[in-house]
Structure formats: structure tokens, C-alpha cells
A and B are shown apart, each in its own frame.
Chain A
Amino acid sequence: MAVKTPIYMDNNATTPLDPRVLEAMMPYLTTHFGNAASKNHSFGWAAEAAVEKARQQIGQAMGASPKEIVFTSGATESDNLAIKGAAEMYREKGNHIITATTEHKAVLDTCHYLETQGYDVTFLTVDHTGMVSPEQVEAAITDKTILISLMAANNEVGTIHPVAEIGKVAKKRGVLFHCDGVQAFGKIPLNVDETGIDLLSISGHKIYGPKGVGALFVRRRGPRVSLSAQMHGGGHERGMRSGTLNVPGIVGLGAAAELAMQEMPTEGPRITALRDRLQQGIVSQLDQVNLNGHPTQRLPNTLNLSFAYVEGESLMMRMKDIAVSSGSACTSASLEPSYVLKALGVGDDMAHSSLRFSLGRFTTQEEIDFAIERVVRAVRELRELSPLYEMAREGIDLKQVKWK
């Protein structure tokens, strides 16, 4: 069995560009180099037409009108624009924002920044599967609440929030609903009208498009949402986001969105089957492996496991032909274990022992089988090396040990 290594299983971090997307982009990197804001010659018109096509493709993929799509440099900017833009615009209405502790840093840090500007933020806690309930959201709403910001699906554990139910609560209480759709968009159906989402952030490079491009859906009817611009300049994107449009990137995002929607009916079941094969293959051969995240309400490509008694960084080093990520502190710049796993109530010890496998469009069954073999072997080897495993086998309760 010939498997080409290294194997990439970190598609929630980023994805490779689909060759078909690159093909769509190529002319706009070369011959059609015009500025989409140049209204008086064919170079500009070609660029503008390409951008409008992408707007259409993206709108269609989420059930929005093309006019509701604002292009950005990526989802971090989309989250910033949505949250700060809405907070500033609706400041007179209120100063309260609701989000959750497992959100991406682009949302959390933006909210922390707003706290320094006189806003109140409620950070909802999640249950052990990573879920926020609509009841929790409703209970947190006050007469000062102007925005709810909750992700569609979590990047680390893949848990899918009940977005439509949260959207209903938001609508009923007249509060705007921003959703970070980066991980969910293109992987599972996400329709802005069915879910009542008012602002939706997406990113190109998570869906086999290019890096450096993203978009924000900004609802125009029922309600019409206004945002205070965060980037000032030439008044592009209806004044909401100035800056010359990244035409090749936008073309790529549009093509990637269209492809993702076309392939979802076949790709969803395929990737779910591969993910389940990976999970089964590992847990059937190893004891003391815990699933992090929701057992069923989970992205089809995501598998986050904790391997007791083994540390994540060394595990990744031992299975070095497979690219994954870990919630271990040793792999983060902050030297803290994953805050998402912490929020789920996963102990620090098990957070250090976690690996996230995120499969993608180009993952094959051969790669899955290769990964199963490698992971199982690496965990066994490192458990042989682990004093904790030895102590546990001797019947020592590690929780009772006084560590020095």
C-alpha cells in the first residue's frame, strides 16, 4: 500500500487550494489584473464582473442576496467588522453582547476589547459536549442586549451549535445574531434565512480557497443591518470595508464556495465515513481514549481525542508523518492547554493528551488506515515510556497522588 507522506489531517487549520479554484483564479492573477473600482475601462469592468460573479456564488451558497456579501481579508476581519461594527452602530440601543467561552479568539478578543470600551459581555459557558442551549441565550438577554455572537461549529472539537434555535430567540427578542461560520460553511448546510443569522463570517482558506480572503454576510432585509466601518478609505463594499478588492482571492472564494456546495451531498457522507473509520480504528485498539466534543452533533470531518497518559506534542512527534494539531500546552504559544477543552470540562491532564484530526476533501481511505496504524503504535510506545501509565496499571489513583 503506497501512501504518500506526510499525510495532512489538519484541515480545520487550513486547506490546500483546490486545483479547480486555482484555475478560476489564474486569469485574475495574470491578464485580468484590473482594479474592480476602475469604472472607465475594460480592465476594471472585467475585474468587477468577476467580483460580482463571486458575490453571486457566495450568496447562493448561504441563501443570501449577492448585495449582502461584503468581502474582507479573512474571517478574523469579518468577525471584527461584525462585532465592533454592530456594537458601535447600535451603541445608543444598548451595550450588552452575548457570546460563549469556546468561540474563536477573533471573537473573544474582539469582545474583550469592547469591554474596555464600556460594553458588557456575557460569556456563556458550554456543556461537556461544547454546546450552548437556546434557553441559555434567551436567559442572558437583557434590554441592553444588542448582539449575540455564536459560532456555527467549533474549530477544535467540531460541536455544531443549534444555530436555527438561537436565531429564533434572537429574532423574538429583537437582537442581532452574528455567527462565525468559518468551520461550518461549506461542510454542512448553513442558510441565513433558515437560521435567522444576521451577520455571517466565512473564510476562503478553510474551504479549499486561497488565504487572505473572507466575507461577511450583512443582512439587508428583516432587519436591515448597518455596521460602522472599521476600515476607512475609498468607500468600497458599500462603505463598510474600504480597500481595493482582492480580485483573484475573491474569485477563488466564490469558486471554492460553489464547489463546496456542489460536492456537499457526496462529500459529507464520504468524509463522515472516513472520520468514523478513523475513530473506530483507534478506539477499538486502545483503551482510555476519550472523545472531545459532541458524539453526533459534530462536523463530519472533525475528530478530537484524548489519549490518557500520553502528552500531545510527543505523540505528534512520534507519528511525525501525520500532520494534526493538539490541545497540549507544549504546542501553543501561551503555554496553556486548550481553552476550548477546558471550557468543556476536560481536565488539564486530558487536554495535554489531546489530538485533533481534521479530514478534508483530499483525505483517502488508505491515509486513514495508515494513520490508525501510526497513532495506535505511537500511543503504545509512549505509554510504555509513561510513568503515569505504569502507575495506573499498578492500580494507583493518579488523582490521589500528591504531585511535586
Chain B
Amino acid sequence: MPYNEKVLDHFNNPRNMGSMDKAARDVGTGIVGAPECGDVMKLQIKVDDSGVITEAKFKTFGCGAAIAASSLATEWLKGKTLDQAGELKNTELAHELALPPVKIHCSVLAEDAVKAAIEDWKRKNAAPAETALATEEMQGKTKT
């Protein structure tokens, strides 16, 4: 796949790669995608008392575009309020990275990951009991 320089840059030098403690109350975690589809993104945000994202981390299983889109998303998230972060659009990511049409779904997935992380943070900070269950489910510890 012939990629734009920006994709290659993010792919070769991923920003904010890593993990934060997903049990921490100030950390929101979004995991989207599925191994069978070839893309899984985990995106985490740390939010301070004033509702500003101070830190963002990601890990991605997926193609070059998926890795680049999630790396770019974490860069954009830092310093944003939760409301601002919620407005992040996949089209902005796709435009910035000049993604080819077949790779647009990677930017959609990154947007979903951001939304899922925000939701997780909100859920945690609203009702702790529910959070624990939701997190366990996501980790596959809850047998169905």
C-alpha cells in the first residue's frame, strides 16, 4: 500500500504508544475492532479534575493506516476537554493522513476508540460498580 509520508512517520515513530492502568478512576479505556477483522485499537485517556485530557496512550493491532490513525488521535487528544475530544471526526484524521479510500475505515475505528474511551471514563466517574463489570466483560473474564 503506497502511503503518504505522514502515515509512514506515525507508523515508524508511533506517538504515545503504551498503556495506562485501566483500573484507575481517572483513566478511560476504549477497545474497538476485532482480531478477525484485522484491526483492534486500544486507546486510553487520563482526565484531570477540570475535565481536560492530560495524557493519551494507544496500542493497535492492525495495518499501517490503523496504527497511524490511532497515533495521530492520541496526539490530538492531549490538552483537549472531554467535550472537544468528543467532537473529533474521522474525516479530520483521514484528511490529515491523506488515507486512500480503502483505509478510511481505519480512521473511523480511531474515532470509535476515542468515543469508547470517553464513554468509559464517564461511566467510571458516574457509577463505579458498573464500571468494574464492564471492564471485566471487555477483558473476557466474564464467562457467558
Closest beta carbon of chain B to A356's beta carbon, Å: 16
Q: A interface vs B, CB < 8 Å?
A: 309-311, 313-314, 317-318, 328-331, 335, 337, 347-349, 352, 384-391, 394, 396-404
Residues of B within 8 A of A310 (CB): 61
Residues of the B chain whose Cβ atoms lie less than 8 Å from the Cβ of A384: 17
Determine how close the nearest CB of chain A comes to the CB of B132; give it in whole angstroms: 16
Q: Which residues of A contact B137 (CB under 8 A)?
A: 402
Q: Contact: B35 with A352, CB < 8 Å?
A: yes
Residues of chain B within 8 A (CB-CB) of A313 are 1, 63-64
Tell me how far the C-beta of A384 lies from the nearest C-beta in chain B, rounded to whole angstroms.
8
Chain B hits for A399, CB < 8 A: 140
* B contact residues vs A (CB 8 Å cutoff): 1, 3, 8, 11, 14, 17, 19, 31-42, 59-64, 66-67, 102, 116, 137-141, 143-144
Contact B139 A331 (CB under 8 A): no
> Is B140 touching A387 in the complex (CB atoms < 8 A)?
no
B1 touches A331 (CB 8 A): yes
Most buried by A among B35, B42, B64: B35
CB pair B1 A404 closer than 8 Å: no
Interface pair B138/A311, CB less than 8 Å apart: no
| Contact yes or no, A404 B116, CB < 8 A | yes
Chain A nearest CB from B64 CB (Å) reads 5
A335 — which chain B residues lie within 8 A by C-beta?
102
- Chain A residues within an 8 Å CB radius of B31: 387, 404
Question: Which residue of chain B lies nearest to A317 when distances are taken between CB atoms in the complex?
Answer: B64
With A and B bound together, what is the CA distance between A256 and B91 in angstroms? 51
Contacts of A396 in B (CB 8 A): 139-141
A-B contact count (CB 8 A): 99
Q: At the interface, is chain B mostly helix, strand, loop or mixed?
A: mixed
Cβ contact within 8 Å between A388 and B35 = yes
- Contact assessment for A387 and B139 in the assembled complex, using a CB-CB cutoff below 8 Å: no
Q: A403, B61: Cβ atoms under 8 Å?
A: no
**CA–CA, A318 and B13, complex, Å:** 11
Given known contacts A387-B41, A390-B59, A400-B143, A348 and B64 CB-to-CB distance under 8 angstroms: no
CA distance A121 to B67 in the complex (A): 42
B63 to A314, Cβ gap below 8 A?
yes
**Do B62 and A402 touch (CB < 8 A)?**
no
User: What residues on A are CB-neighbors of B39 within 8 Å?
Assistant: 311
Smallest CB separation, B137 vs chain A (Å):
6
User: Are B139 and A391 in contact, with the CB atoms below 8 A?
Assistant: yes
* Other contacts beyond A385-B61, A388-B40: 18, CB < 8 A: A311-B63, A313-B1, A313-B64, A314-B11, A314-B64, A314-B67, A328-B38, A329-B38, A330-B1, A348-B36, A348-B38, A352-B38, A385-B60, A388-B35, A396-B141, A398-B35, A403-B34, A404-B31
Q: Which residue of A lies closest to B11 (CB)?
A: A317
- Residue of A314, A331, A402, A403 near B40 (CB, 8 A) is A403
Min CB–CB distance A379 → chain B (angstroms): 12
Given A314-B67, A387-B59, residue A349 in contact with residue B36 (CB < 8 A): yes
Task: Return chain A residues, CB-CB under 8 Å to B33.
Answer: 403-404
Option from B3, B35, B60 in Cβ contact (under 8 Å) with A403: B35
Tell me whether B64 and A401 are in contact (CB under 8 A). Answer: no
Report whether A397 and B36 are in contact in the complex, using a CB–CB cutoff of 8 Å.
no
A95 to B140, CA, bound (A): 51
- B43 nearest CB neighbor, chain A only: A387
Q: Contacts of A318 on B, CB cut-off 8 Å?
A: 11
Complex CA distance for A399 and B143, rounded to whole angstroms: 11
B140 contacts A330, C-beta separation under 8 Å = no
A399 to B67 CA separation, bound complex (whole angstroms) = 23
Q: Within 8 Å CB of A387, what residues of B?
A: 31, 40-42, 59-61
A328 (CB) vs chain B CBs: closest residue:
B38
A330 touches B61 (CB 8 A): no
Q: How far is the CA of A389 from the CA of B102 in the complex (A)?
A: 26
Q: Are B38 and A330 interface neighbours, CB within 8 A?
A: yes
